[in-house]
Amino acid sequence: MHHNLIVTKNEDGRPQVAIVVNELNITNPLISECGRFEVDPVAAYGISLQLATALAHLNETLVAEGIAVSPMKSELGLLRAEAAKGNDAQRRYASHDFSTCPMCGCADPQGGSIEVDGQTATQEVTCPECGAAWNDLYRLVGFEVVEEGNSHLAAIGRLREKLETLDKAAFSLREAIGSLGAQPEMEAALGALNAKRMGIQDELVALGEALPGNARYATAIIGDAPQIYDAIEIRGVRVVGRDPSTGKTELEVDDVNPVFWSVYLHRKEGGVECVGDFATRPLADAYAHELSQTYGYRIV
pLDDT (tens digit per residue) in 218-277: 877 888 888 999 999 999 887 776 666 666 667 788 887 777 788 999 999 888 888 888
CA distance 150 to 27: 8
Cα 119 versus chain centre, distance: 20
Are both 130 and 154 inside the same structural domain? no
Percent of the chain with pLDDT over 70: 49
Q: How far is residue 111's CA from residue 126's CA, in Å, rounded to a whole number?
A: 7
Both 232 and 279 in a single domain? yes
Closest CA to 29 of 18, 20, 19, 39: 39
Whether residue 287 lies inside any domain: the answer is yes
Q: Are 27 and 38 in contact (CB under 8 A)?
A: yes
Domain count, the chain: 3
The answer to whether residue 121 scores a pLDDT higher than 70 is: no
**In which domain, by residue range, is 175 found?**
150-210
- Average pLDDT in the 20-32 region? 36
For 75-107, what is each residue's pLDDT tens digit? 332 222 333 345 666 667 666 656 778 788 888
Q: Higher confidence at residue 273 or residue 49?
A: 273
Same domain as 125, residue 21: yes
Domain closes at, from 139, 159, 188 = 139
Cis peptide before 29 (omega within 30 of 0): yes
Same domain assignment for residues 111 and 92: yes
Cβ neighbours of 188 (radius 10 Å):
10
Last residue of a domain, one of 114, 139, 164: 139
Quick check: helix, strand or coil at residue 286? helix
Q: Distance (Å, rounded) from C-alpha 144 to C-alpha 261?
A: 19
pLDDT over threshold 70, residue 166: yes
pLDDT at 114 (0 to 100): 66
Q: What per-residue confidence (pLDDT) applies to 260?
A: 78
- Helices 184-210, 151-180: inter-axial angle, 10-degree rounding: 160
Separate counts of helices (H) and strands (E) for the chain: 7, 12
Q: Residue 145: inside a domain, yes or no? A: no
Share of the chain above pLDDT 90, in %: 7
Secondary structure of residue 247 in the 3-state scheme: coil
135 and 7 together in one domain:
yes
Do 275 and 281 meet the contact criterion of CB atoms below 8 Å apart? Answer: no
Of 41-50, 101-110, 202-211, the range with the lowest mean pLDDT is: 41-50
Domain boundary among 98, 116, 139: 139
Residues 119 and 196 in one domain: no
Alpha-carbon gap, residue 86 to 74, rounded angstroms: 28
- CA 289, CA 56: separation in Å to the nearest integer? 24
CA distances 62 to 3, 45, 166, 172, 186, Å, are: 23, 21, 33, 38, 46
Residues 6+ apart with CB under 8 A from 168: none
